[in-house]
Structure 1
Amino acid sequence: MMLNLDDLRTPSLLVHRDRLEANLRSMQSACDAAGFALRPHIKTHKLVPIARRQLELGAAGLTCAKLSEAEAMLPSGVREMFVAHSLVDPRQAPRIDALAGQLDELRLAVTSEAHATALIELVARTGRRLPVMLAIDTGLDREGVRSIESAQRTAALLAKSDAVDLAGFYTHEGFFYTTDPADQTAAIDRMLEQLHAVRDAVDPSLPLWPGCSVTARALAQRSDTGIQAVRPGAYVFGDLSLSTSTHVMPFADVALEVLATVVDRPAPDLALIDAGSKTFSSDRTAAGISAIDAAGRDLAVVRTNEEHGYVRGADVDQLQIGERLRLVPAHVCTVVNLANEVCVLEADSSIHAVWSIEARGCTQ
């Protein structure tokens, strides 16, 4: 029996099909026009139907964070994958071998000098020779070599191995989420200068693959980047971080919302909803907001317990117990990972499909 929106239990995740499709097409078109490959990160959507659509539109391959994510995406028909995480556990060798055997290309990540030896030993256990991408830290202060000298030493170590081939460089410039939009151009200039300096000191022929939804479109609009691929993830849905914080997508283009119910009005300036940190996660905007009203009313989730969201704002006194709210979350990736399914809506709010989130909880 086909569900109607009113039949859904809450909290539920709603995906606007037309906005999703527009976001997918727009990013692919931008990359095509720029002449570089789109290798989207699936950690945001974790859904085979979306991965399949990204590939249909022209994505060159998929990026994943964990082996379990990559395994879950195989039914999409993907032929090339990049696992952008520090793999070290020797127990992962059989899974890497099996995954590589089902793909045309599997690339792994080398994330530091310290990590290189462990990865070489791990890949050697598979009996395969695999391409690897060397991470460069461009400001997030997470994984990646911190200097040209470190990159050269790491590359020399990789060159001595029969298990791996250095096939390129990547970065995750996630610090752009907290970069003032007015400073974005200058920050991109600095990032590109660093990427090229490190790459050119090792091997100028190797590709550069930055990866962030904040920078992907800006990079596509430039002709001087010298990069070969981008790996954005959150662009498929959008959230408050991409719309109201960094201003890289219009709020009206955000494709995912959380449907929640007002369950109590314990005080005149407060409404409680049935969606808390187990729905929104603990991620918030810089102002401490977990979500805001999708319809534009002055309503914000300003605090969460596990099963409750605290809604405040100038329009809170209009809310009635039992009323349903559509809310745009601060960070979409963690929201999707906490849910079992998404309900895909047509433009008229009828339900097109219910998709199981195949890679939900895939953290191993």
Structure 2
Amino acid sequence: MHVDDLASPSILVLAPRLEHNLRAMQSACDAAGMELRPHIKTHKLLPIARRQLELGAKGLTCAKLSEAEAMLPSGVREIFLAHSLVDHRQAARIAALCDQLDELRVAVTSEAHAETLITLAAQVGRPLHAMMAIDSGLDREGVRDVASAQRIAARLARAPQVELAGFYTHEGQFYTKPNDQREAGIVRMLTDLRAIRDAIDPALPLWPGSSMTARAIADGHADGVQAVRPGAYVFGDMALSTSTDVMPFADVALEVLATVVDRPTADLALIDAGSKTFSSDRTAAGVSAVAADGRDLSVVRVNEEHGYLRGADVASLQLGERIRFVPAHVCTVVNLTSHVTLIDSDDYVSASWPVDARGCTQ
């Protein structure tokens, strides 16, 4: 089957670019002497998780228990759950994961959360290895100062079933930082992270996690960093390419195939992919997607089943014409579809992969 035979909208994964992205990140980490523990929240696919592990990933990072459970058939032996676990109803599932893995690491995200995690660990009945979150500027979870980190470490030291195993952060704030300030920002971030870690125990690992910074850390700032946890690098999107220049636009490995279904006015076209395909995520300029072939075509508004196309090349579009788009944010696109279609360099279909962890939010 050729891509022209597919129904639209379809989510296309460009196999050669995917393999390039997977190999490039693993090679960068290997050269830096760092572990790669990729976050699967972007791809949610067992075939990609298996390939990451085959290439040398030390383990996987997941957001929710259901994601971790969905990834077990990949053969993964180490998983980090980078989210605040608090619900006693999850104790049996956490215990089951502990029993099926060589190592399950959980997050401790604040002083208040430390108390809840200790209580939960008693119900799990298994030793839990906890990574302490450090807020590096996103203003989400994580300790804000050394004193708070020291109090959490002291509290965990008194808890028989929770061991402090390291530190992590998610530096998502770099998506909105000016490109020319990124390098200096990474240096400051890592300096601050090391200061907190070293005040507790310099021997404990430090695991930052973002596709915005992973290559930069590997290429010149790996000192004192044991692992990185990028997710979106496998596919890329507008956020990583046109918006921030972290990766070339030509390396983006996921595209949305859509069809022009109407031309209400001379400067507006409608496509059959809306918020149920692209999600509501947009760039700072309000763009949900751009044409992958370089034409001046942008999805500037979405309803559930319609995308609104604007741009200089709208005037040349014909009803029924099919266009491939690069989305603003890839993670939500994958989670909205039931399967992705793998295509080769000649645009022939080589596989259809179900999204194994689709909707895994619990």
* TM-score past 0.5 threshold: yes
Partner residue of 1:349 out of 330, 347, 350: 347
Secondary structure of 2:190 counterpart: helix
Secondary structure of 1:169 counterpart: strand
1:18-39: CA deviation from partner (whole Å, max 9, x where unpaired): 0000000000000000000000
The equivalent of 1:64 in structure 2 is 62
Instruction: Please say which of residues 118-127 and 234-243 is displaced more in the overlay.
Output: 118-127
The equivalent of 1:179 in structure 2 is 177
Structure 2 CA distance, aligned partners of 1:115 and 1:266? 53
Pair 1:294-2:292 in alignment? yes
The equivalent of 2:273 in structure 1 is 275
Structure 2 CA distance, aligned partners of 1:156 and 1:230? 26
Partner residue of 2:36 out of 30, 38, 50: 38
Is residue 134–residue 141 contact of structure 2 (8 Å, CA) maintained in 1?
Answer: yes
1:30-179 aligned within 5 A = 30-179=28-177
1:172-197: CA deviation from partner (whole Å, max 9, x where unpaired): 00001011110011101110111011
Secondary structure of 2:257 counterpart: strand
Structure 2 CA distance, aligned partners of 1:307 and 1:123? 45
Structure 2 CA distance, aligned partners of 1:14 and 1:224? 34
1:154 is displaced (CA, Å) by 0.7
Pair 1:28-2:13 in alignment? no
1:224 is displaced (CA, Å) by 5.5
1:134-173: CA deviation from partner (whole Å, max 9, x where unpaired): 0000000000001100000011111110111000000000
The equivalent of 1:246 in structure 2 is 244
Pair 1:234-2:263 in alignment? no
Structure 1 CA distance, aligned partners of 2:110 and 2:314? 50
Paired amino acid for 1:309: G
How many residues in Structure 1 have an aligned counterpart in Structure 2? Answer: 362
Superposition misfits of 4+ residues, deviation over 6 angstroms: none
Structure 1 CA distance, aligned partners of 2:198 and 2:110? 18
* Counterparts in 2 of 1:224 and 1:216: CA distance versus 1, 3 Å: closer
In the superposition, the TM-score normalised over structure 1's length comes to 0.99
Paired amino acid for 2:356: E
Structure 1 CA distance, aligned partners of 2:164 and 2:213? 25
In the superposition, the TM-score normalised over structure 2's length comes to 0.99
Structure 2 CA distance, aligned partners of 1:352 and 1:194? 46
Structure 2 CA distance, aligned partners of 1:298 and 1:344? 26
Paired amino acid for 2:111: E
* Counterparts in 2 of 1:69 and 1:224: CA distance versus 1, 3 Å: closer
Paired amino acid for 2:358: R
Is residue 187–residue 221 contact of structure 2 (8 Å, CA) maintained in 1?
Answer: no
1:5-54: CA deviation from partner (whole Å, max 9, x where unpaired): 22211111000000000000000000000000000000000000000000
* Counterparts in 2 of 1:213 and 1:8: CA distance versus 1, 3 Å: same
Instruction: Name structure 2 gaps, 5 residues minimum.
Output: none
Secondary structure of 2:51 counterpart: helix
1:88-107: CA deviation from partner (whole Å, max 9, x where unpaired): 00000000001111100000
1:286-321: CA deviation from partner (whole Å, max 9, x where unpaired): 110000000000000000011110000000011111
Is residue 32–residue 222 contact of structure 2 (8 Å, CA) maintained in 1?
Answer: no
RMSD of aligned alpha carbons? 0.7
